[in-house]
A and B are shown apart, each in its own frame.
Chain A
Amino acid sequence: MEQLLQHGVNALVLGGTYALLGIGLTLIFGIMRVVNFTHGELYSFGAYMMFLWVMQAGVNFFLALPLAVLLGLLLGAGIELLLLRRLRGADIDTTMLVMIGAWIALQNFEQLCWSGVAKSIATPFPAAPLVLGPVAVSWNRLFVFIVAIALIAATQALVKGTRLGKAMRATFQDRDTAALMGVDIALIHTATFALGSALAAAAGALLGPVFVVYPTMGDLASLKAFAIVILGGLGSIPGAAAGGFILAFIEELGAGYISSGYRDAMGFLLIIVILLVRPTGLVAQRERIS
């Protein structure tokens, strides 16, 4: 029972960052219909920005975090303006190939800059964990969880409560009608991709100091983000948040009670099972099977 509680706490911490990854991707995938293979790359970019500012430039940890997220936002906007803008309306395979090309180029650029050796990032948090009865959680992980929840809430508020968010939702529902109503689709696409990328970079910047940073860390992150989107339903922020926590719980329990080697397989098995049992997904999405 104590073990189960500890797994639950670990899953909550991990789930927060998974939710960030998933929300970022569900916005991009839902609104732009881009299968974004650079999503995991933005995740590792966020982690490397933390390494750059904290370890190489000596910037304060709490200042480096928003800086890393901001740079992720700018990189996302750059990718959209440079690569995706002119591909709007191209078929889904074409954009996917371009994103794969960008992913390979970015990842190897990182490896060129920082080598393939895993790097760790020092944190200002005390080393002794916070002990609450039967469970222990490190201060760093607690910080990650709180920031992740705050970012999820902020994104939800942005999409539900602002003019920009309303335009994004309109574009998600029907791009052409939204354009006819005067929504600047090009601007919405850039904003969406930048926002999604910033969330992925935030996840990386938060988890980088918890684990270690290495160039290929984003590959699994991309695939897990896809799993979360399938779980939660396209374009739904609460769905992606729930999907992130569900995936984290399944992984944590699978690693704890089945085999730690198959931790990363849980998400993929989950996708296959869902599509096998309910091809329309947990949330009915007609377009998946047509």
Chain B
Amino acid sequence: MPILSFAWLALLFSVPLWMADLYVLHVLIVTGIFIIAAMSLNLLLGYTGQLSLGHVAFFGIGAYVSSLVSLGCQVHLLPHWQVSLAAQPVWVGMLSGVAAAGLSGFLIGKIAFKVRGAYFVIVTVSFAEVVHLVALNWVELTQGPMALNNIRPLTLSIPFLVDISFARKPASYYLVLTVALVAYVLIRRLVRSRAGRAMVALRENEPLAASVGVDVTRYLVLATVLSAAIAGAAGVLYAHYVRIVDPDIFLFIYTVIMVIMVISGGKGTLAGPIVGGLIFGLLPEVLRAFAIKPEVQWVIYGVLMVLIVYFLPEGIVPAARSAWLALARPAAWRNAPRLMR
């Protein structure tokens, strides 16, 4: 298995070397950013079983905070009390973006986990809509629909050692890939730890898990904070890559895209969001190659979503794993417990 992982890594890292088409690289970068966001959603949806339909809020908060800190900003909080912040280095902005997203994850987790199921979904959707309206209406801070422009790309310079600007596409690709790998490793370590097993226990049977001593709210909030911080990191990367942020970043459709990526790939599997993300990140480009109108693309998107839920309710990765097991080791597959299939 390590050999296969290294082969994947080598393939991913070699892409800018043999891919000369910058547009393809651009598509891969944006897809990579959404895969990071989908991985973070998977932590909540797949492992704790809580469907957050406000996930784009964390993505957008990361993007906005990072942009504002790196650009500098000033606001009047009370009539005579003005707060201003000078422009900070980009990496400071990026870290603040991730921290702000994580913090908002903590706050919303504390509030939203008082309820479950459909009500949790509605609270998270409401939270995202409120953040969206604030971004749209607090013009002094966010420029509202005029958008934040001229966001600088990340530059790293340690004297005599490194001096890299992430303005060009190959460098951006490596940045996104690195963050994605870090997020992947973090999530993998968490879900395979004691805390991760507690989360799965909560998903499978909350009253039972609570009765054997799992601190329900604590683990749910922990998952939300990490998930929000990673989603915020994706938003940070997005802001400094496209270099413009407007309130449309909070559109509900982006949450839906993340959910589709997780569900189609296979929620609760580490590879699921990556597989689903690649399919649904690249699909619009493939459809565009056939020069179909954007509305038709979205109709196809919606219909595909319905079909996946009907025919692959567990997602592509578990279905493929089950098919592989059945082919390679039929006896073991027949005897495997239901959950393992």
Binding site for B on A (CB under 8 A): 29, 33, 35, 83, 86, 92-94, 96-98, 100-109, 111-112, 219, 223, 226-227, 230, 259, 261-262, 264-265, 267-269, 271-272, 275-276, 279, 287-290
Contacts and interface: CB of A to CB of B under 8 A. Distances in A.
B85 interface: no
B296 interface: yes
Contacts of A268: 126-127, 129-130, 133
Sorted from nearest, which 3 A-B pairs have the closest CB atoms? A105-B302, A101-B305, A104-B302
B230 to A, nearest CB: 21
Contacts of A101: 302-306, 309
A92 B111 contact: no
A248 B259 CA distance: 31
B258 to A, nearest CB: 12
Given A93-B51, A112-B293, A29 B136 contact: no
Contact of A104 (B129, B293, B301): B301
Contacts of B51: 93, 96
A100 B309 CA distance: 11
B123 A262 contact: no
Contacts of B116: 288-290
A112 B300 CA distance: 13
Nearest to B123: A275
B122 interface: yes
B127 A272 contact: yes
Contacts of B263: 97
A289 B115 contact: yes
A223 B121 CA distance: 11
B299 A92 contact: no
Contacts of A227: 122, 126
A29 B114 contact: no
Given A97-B309, A98-B306, A269-B130, A108 B299 contact: yes
Contacts of B114: 275-276, 279, 289
Given A105-B298, A108-B296, A271-B122, 18 more contacts: A33-B118, A35-B122, A98-B306, A98-B310, A101-B304, A102-B306, A104-B256, A105-B306, A108-B302, A109-B299, A219-B252, A227-B126, A261-B133, A261-B136, A268-B129, A272-B123, A276-B114, A287-B117
Contacts of B310: 86, 98
A158 B251 CA distance: 38
Query: Main secondary structure on chain B at its contact with chain A?
Result: helix
A111 B121 CA distance: 27
A98 to B, nearest CB: 5
Nearest to B206: A290
25 contacts: A83-B306, A93-B51, A96-B118, A96-B121, A98-B305, A100-B256, A101-B309, A102-B302, A104-B298, A104-B305, A105-B301, A105-B303, A107-B298, A108-B296, A223-B122, A230-B122, A261-B136, A261-B137, A271-B122, A272-B126, A275-B112, A275-B123, A276-B114, A279-B115, A290-B116
A16 to B, nearest CB: 23
A112 B296 contact: yes
A108 B295 contact: yes
A271 B299 contact: no
Contacts of B127: 268, 272
B125 interface: yes
Interface residues of B, number: 40
B13 interface: no
The secondary structure that dominates the A interface is helix
A98 B263 CA distance: 11
A103 B133 contact: no
Contacts of B304: 101
A265 B129 CA distance: 7
B53 to A, nearest CB: 8
B119 interface: yes
A269 B123 CA distance: 9
- Most chain A CB within a 10 A radius of its CB, from B114, B119, B123, B134: B119
Nearest to B298: A108
B126 A271 contact: yes
B16 interface: no
Contacts of B121: 35, 96
A52 B112 CA distance: 42
A232 B137 CA distance: 29
Nearest to A83: B306
Contacts of A92: 117-118
B126 A223 contact: yes
Contacts of A287: 117
Contacts of A29: 118
A106 B301 CA distance: 11
A230 B256 contact: no
Nearest to B138: A261
Contacts of A93: 51
A101 B305 CA distance: 5
B102 to A, nearest CB: 20
A100 B305 CA distance: 8
A279 B113 CA distance: 10
B111 A223 contact: no
B313 interface: yes
B281 to A, nearest CB: 16
B137 A262 contact: yes
A155 B134 CA distance: 37
A236 B117 CA distance: 19
Given A97-B259, A105-B299, A265 B130 contact: yes
A277 B134 CA distance: 22
Contact of B295 (A96, A103, A109, A290): A109
A271 B114 CA distance: 13
Contacts of B252: 219
A269 B126 CA distance: 7
Contacts of B296: 108, 112
